[in-house]
Structure 1
Amino acid sequence: MHLRSFHHGAIAAAVLTVAALLPATSASATPTLDAPVCPQAEALQGLAIAPTPALAEPDYNAVVEISAGALPAGVLLEGDRATNTPYVFRGTPSVTGSFTFTVKRIFEDATPLTTSCTMTVGTPGDVSRIEGLDRYDQAVTVSKASFASSDIVYVASGEKYSDALSAASVAGLRKAPLLLSRSTTITTSTSAELLRLNPKHVVIVGGTASVAEIVVDALKAVVPEGVKFTRIGGADRFEVSRALIRHADLGVSSASGVVVATGSNFSDALAASPAAVLAQAPVLLVNGSASALTAEEAALLAHLGARSVHIAGGPASVSPALETFLAKSFTVTRSNGTDRYEAAVALNKAAFTSPTGKIYLASGTAFADALSAGPVAGRDGSPIYLVKNGCVPNSVLQEIVRLKPTSIIVLGGTATLSASVEALKSC
């Protein structure tokens, strides 16, 4: 499906200001000598630029230099012909402004080629952190920061990620918060938050092994009489996902597109939830190693009226065989990357095609602190990017440059994402 619905092929790209001065050559002249390449046209102060080769093809006989103007302070053109070190733009801009410069490629036996470039350096958005004492308090903190009240509240296990992932897109589509519970006890802060939200309906996601009836009884004792409680469970995580989406009152009545993600790990579905909500689509958890949809999954897609499917994650997450099966009945697209971080970048590039006011940074290795943010990010039209414990992948930094958020929110405490992430240190 087209992300945004899903706006396939509408990925925004920075436009370089380039004026290449090429000498006239005959049609038979070989080899073709290309002008040097500009670095990225837009950057943010304090964020490392994407390392960019100054030549489209390596040429160890040429020298590349800045012949006029100047790069922003902190950005360098590095390389050395004498040591066969390729010329690369790299570094971190330390100043703001618009910088015009000329890149020259010098040959031993040919006329130099030049390219005029401009790099505009802006100011990054404010970085803040949402953290709780634990994953349950984290969900409460996210809810408090985002909801004054809510008619519906979803409650899922904080010990296992699958039910909460199933709930994230549905809660986002319903513009409702997601709170987390232990299997047999509920925290005081969660009980207090449920009371504050003043819901008319509380949805327990998962079976009694995930959220026991004793927990439901404790929650009923907190809220006023008359609040309705509904449990949506299933024999396994896949059945829970289907049942929640299909529920007549608390799920999704129809959707032209569906996002499919593996239920075997959390990263693809976590990043996919906000993008799916933006496209008014639910996230369906499937057995990613399967070669076909189950009869129940096929029936659900038919019930929704789905015409397109977007696969979140690469072939190791959702098999090529399943993609081939889906393509027989639906328009199928896939977001993929070399790892979970790059897969999330690819998905968000396709889904979020214009600047957003806010983005979220979540751990790519620990699910707990980010689970409850999915519905909020989806409701607000904000992406979630996966980052490492001690740094932010450069591809994510370039997404920050592209989307120009005024607010960057780090999810979780420093044990999950260190102060280096808050400082937007590049990996």
Structure 2
Amino acid sequence: MNLKRQACIVLAISSMVGVMTVATSNADVTKDGIQYTKRFRGANRFGTAVEISKQNYPNGAKTLIIANGMNPADALSGGPLAYKFDAPILLVSKSIDDATLNEIARLKPESVYILGGTSSVSIGIERVIKSKLSSNAKCERVKGSNRYETSMKVAELVVGKNSSKGAGFVNGIDSKFPDALSAAPLLGTKGMPLILTNGKSIPNGADKYKANKGNYIIGGSKSININGLSGKRLSGSDRYNTSAVVANEAFPYSNPNVDSSCVLVDGRDYPDALTAISISKKYNAPILLVNNTVPRNIMNYITSQKRDKGYIAGGYGSVSTAVENSVSLKLIENFKKYRNYEQEKKKRLLNDLSNLMSKYDEMVAMLTRNSNNDNAISAYRNLRNDIYNNYTSKKLSDLANVKVETIEEKQKELQKKFEDITNINDEQYNKILREQIDKSREKISENGVMIPEDRMTPSQKELFKKMQKATSLLLEANKNKEKLELAYEIKNFKVSDSGNSSDSNALIKEANELLNNAKKIRTQSPEFLSKKNSLEWAIDDARRSPTSQNLQTLKDAIDDFKYICNSYQMLDERIQKVEKIISDKKSIIEYKFKSEAYKDLNSVNGDDKSLIRDKNTIEAEIVKNKELLNNFKDRNLLTTAENALSSKMVNFNNKIRNYEEIRDRLDVTLKKIEDKKLDESKVKKLKESQDAGIQKIVKDYEDNLEKAKKLTDFDLNASIYDKLRDLDKLLNNSFNQYIEKYNAVK
């Protein structure tokens, strides 16, 4: 292609996409803040599998599947299994790399399925995998004498002995693997297994499926032609056409108000498509095969089925930038044709607003309230709560009548309220920033001594630069906002693991940092002390003899001790947060309602919704948890306790907010009404009036007053906020109208 023709194509793309960010080695395709394609990629197939796992399972996964990344034989049938258990698939070869091992440790799976015999995944790799699992995790090898029998073993895990739904049949020889790739999402949505054949006969044990008319036969008759095999054949002229046919069967267009996604993978090789099943599951999307271009049948499917979001598995050698940009043009066109563009912008703005609120909340929480900033902080919190209750906590469908401009304006108001706080002169901003500088120094120190800059990791250097900037900022006046924002950045900055995992010096350094950070943990727990001793011994062994075995032992000891420290700190921090809530909210917890309507609402011996009773219960649990921190025998007890306390804290905090709402709204209104001493004779005349307008005013007032007084029986939950506001407004309005008519009575 000559340069002139290339330039014309680039200009054509630019004019169609507008301000689209075209995919490069560092970017996905985004336009007007809406992301149309997202790429999951690593340095190789193993890294891509890890990246897919990290991004789709940020909180870990109960089930994990391990397969050989160099041979499709046993791995192909694992797609429906991964779909059923919502499990990531990680790849190994003759060895297992550190990134994959670290991901296994991060996922903390309860069950692991290894697909294939020891020739696919060796005994040695199995042992290393088990070393990364918790003591009660299950690791099971799923294997047969060959790939066909292995697929039958996998089928048993997918459906057990129930063959009523049928199965998917494909040709499982190496040269025919592509049909299996696009079949996995279809079979996953149907709850059906994928059975590999040699194209001419079915494996032992598959007879029970053979006559089932619900079967799918994926591939043309030249690829799979088995006498007596019933089912619906899905095939095309080639692997790409077949993947489009399968996608049409599994994922027809249905709803214009949700993402209509697709997953693009390289149809010339299997690994990325195999691990992409996790993406397919998450986004309810078909897997479409491409090569160095977008095949016509694939583009026809994207067009006809109105796909408007694309997820790519693999690097640019698998799915090129040209393919990504070509598909993106069609995705953008479909989005604007068939989706509510305004709705998507609204969703993005709400997400941005929610993230901004979280950031501001954390920064405001770093401040100490005083007589100067109290009003500004209260004003921020009032607006923040209003935005949460009326916007960010709502479903998108509940905000159909809210304009995009309204949400944008709320964001500006929130920014203004935050700036109002930071515009107040206050020395504490320097104190906050200085504290974060001091705390972060540990992250770039070794044994209490700052690491030379030439030995720092890239992330340590980045943190060091932030600390230098912070030190300079301390000398400047009237930059409270910049100081608070930088303190927030430093506080939340994550320093990546330093060094190569096989480097004994880096491992020893990491271990020593871990021990140093753990000095603040005060506990006599036998498990904690045992793990600490194990780590210290492992450090000594690695120093004396940095063999691969000693380094592996040290890595395991680091992971064990890190896990136990994190569990301890999570529970300890949760206790501190609950204690702070109890301390900060003492006035509302012990508040005695002024109006007769609520006199028993917060009585220790009265209603079981009592905040004092809840406080006493939580304080008793805190005492138990502090004892647990000092003497736990099993680290899992810490996690269980933290989860339980976290749940109670959320409920308690929500109840406090509801009590505040009653106190600040209806209690004040009812007290105003009760304090108004009305002449009974004038009240009687009002009630006996024959004027229809007056009768309505009297009835509205009495009805609203009765509703307010009956709130002693209501359920204190988050949804009461709007009801309270509405009722308080109605009661005030009706009372004012009532008093106006009352004053007119002679």
- Give a deviation string over 1:397-421, Cα, whole Å, max 9, x none: 2222233334201221111121111
Query: Which of 326, 332, 337 is residue 424 of structure 1 equivalent to?
Result: 326
Query: Which of 245, 268, 293 is residue 202 of structure 2 equivalent to?
Result: 293
Residues 1:207 and 1:251: Cα distance change in structure 2 (over 3 Å): farther
CA distance in 1, matches of 2:220, 2:35: 31
Aligned to 1:160: 71
Gap regions ≥5 residues in structure 1? 1-47, 49-73, 75-90, 97-123
Contact in 1 for aligned 2:148/2:203 (Cα 8 Å):
no
Query: Which of 85, 108, 117 is residue 174 of structure 1 equivalent to?
Result: 85
CA distance in 2, matches of 1:275, 1:346: 11
Q: Within 5 Å, which residues of 2 pair with 1:306-345?
A: 307-319=213-225, 322=226, 324-327=227-230, 332-345=231-244
- Give a deviation string over 1:28-80, Cα, whole Å, max 9, x none: xxxxxxxxxxxxxxxxxxxx9xxxxxxxxxxxxxxxxxxxxxxxxx9xxxxxx
* TM-score (structure 1 length as normaliser): 0.64
- Shift in Å at residue 251 of structure 1? 5.7
Structure 2 residue matching 1:275: 3-state secondary structure: helix
Structure 1 residue matching 2:228: 3-state secondary structure: helix
Higher helix share: 2
Query: Which of 113, 124, 134 is residue 44 of structure 2 equivalent to?
Result: 134
Residues 1:417 and 1:339: Cα distance change in structure 2 (over 3 Å): same
Residues 1:209 and 1:167: Cα distance change in structure 2 (over 3 Å): same
Aligned to 1:403: 305
CA distance in 1, matches of 2:202, 2:64: 30
Aligned to 2:122: 212
CA distance in 2, matches of 1:190, 1:318: 35
CA distance in 2, matches of 1:252, 1:193: 29
| 2:266 paired with 1:393 | no
Letter in 2 for 1:309: N
CA distance in 1, matches of 2:46, 2:139: 20
Contact in 2 for aligned 1:128/1:422 (Cα 8 Å):
no
What is the count of residue pairs matched by the alignment?
A: 296
CA distance in 1, matches of 2:240, 2:149: 28
- Give a deviation string over 1:368-420, Cα, whole Å, max 9, x none: 2222112441454210011112x111221222223333420122111112111
Q: Which fold has the larger relative contact order, with Cα–Cα distance below 8 Å and residues 6 or more apart in sequence? A: 1
Letter in 1 for 2:276: A
| 2:267 paired with 1:364 | yes
* TM-score (structure 2 length as normaliser): 0.38
Higher strand share: 1
Aligned to 1:254: 162
Contact in 2 for aligned 1:169/1:375 (Cα 8 Å):
no
Structure 1 residue matching 2:76: 3-state secondary structure: helix
Task: Calculate the aligned-residue CA RMSD, in Å.
Answer: 2.7
- Shift in Å at residue 307 of structure 1? 4.8
- Give a deviation string over 1:263-315, Cα, whole Å, max 9, x none: 01220000010011112211111111x1x43442214x38xx95521111111
Contact in 1 for aligned 2:197/2:203 (Cα 8 Å):
no
Letter in 2 for 1:311: I
CA distance in 2, matches of 1:93, 1:136: 38
Contact in 2 for aligned 1:360/1:410 (Cα 8 Å):
yes
Aligned to 2:134: 224
- Give a deviation string over 1:165-224, Cα, whole Å, max 9, x none: 1111111112111111113x1111111111111111111110000000100111111222
CA distance in 1, matches of 2:54, 2:184: 20
Letter in 1 for 2:38: S
Q: Within 5 Å, which residues of 2 pair with 1:20-419?
A: 94=16, 126-147=36-57, 148-183=59-94, 185-247=95-157, 252=160, 254-255=162-163, 256-264=165-173, 265-288=176-199, 290=200, 292-299=201-208, 301=209, 307-319=213-225, 322=226, 324-327=227-230, 332-355=231-254, 357-378=260-281, 380-389=283-292, 391-419=293-321
CA distance in 2, matches of 1:326, 1:373: 29
Letter in 2 for 1:393: P
- Give a deviation string over 1:223-264, Cα, whole Å, max 9, x none: 2222111111111100110011114xx664535121111101
Residues 1:252 and 1:165: Cα distance change in structure 2 (over 3 Å): farther
CA distance in 1, matches of 2:243, 2:62: 31
Contact in 1 for aligned 2:171/2:196 (Cα 8 Å):
yes
Structure 2 residue matching 1:371: 3-state secondary structure: helix
Letter in 2 for 1:382: A
CA distance in 1, matches of 2:79, 2:250: 17
Structure 2 residue matching 1:163: 3-state secondary structure: coil
CA distance in 1, matches of 2:73, 2:282: 20
Letter in 1 for 2:238: D
Letter in 2 for 1:346: V
CA distance in 2, matches of 1:353, 1:418: 26
- Shift in Å at residue 128 of structure 1? 2.1
Gap regions ≥5 residues in structure 2? 1-8, 19-33, 330-746
Contact in 2 for aligned 1:276/1:378 (Cα 8 Å):
no
- Percent identity at matched positions? 28
CA distance in 2, matches of 1:375, 1:307: 28
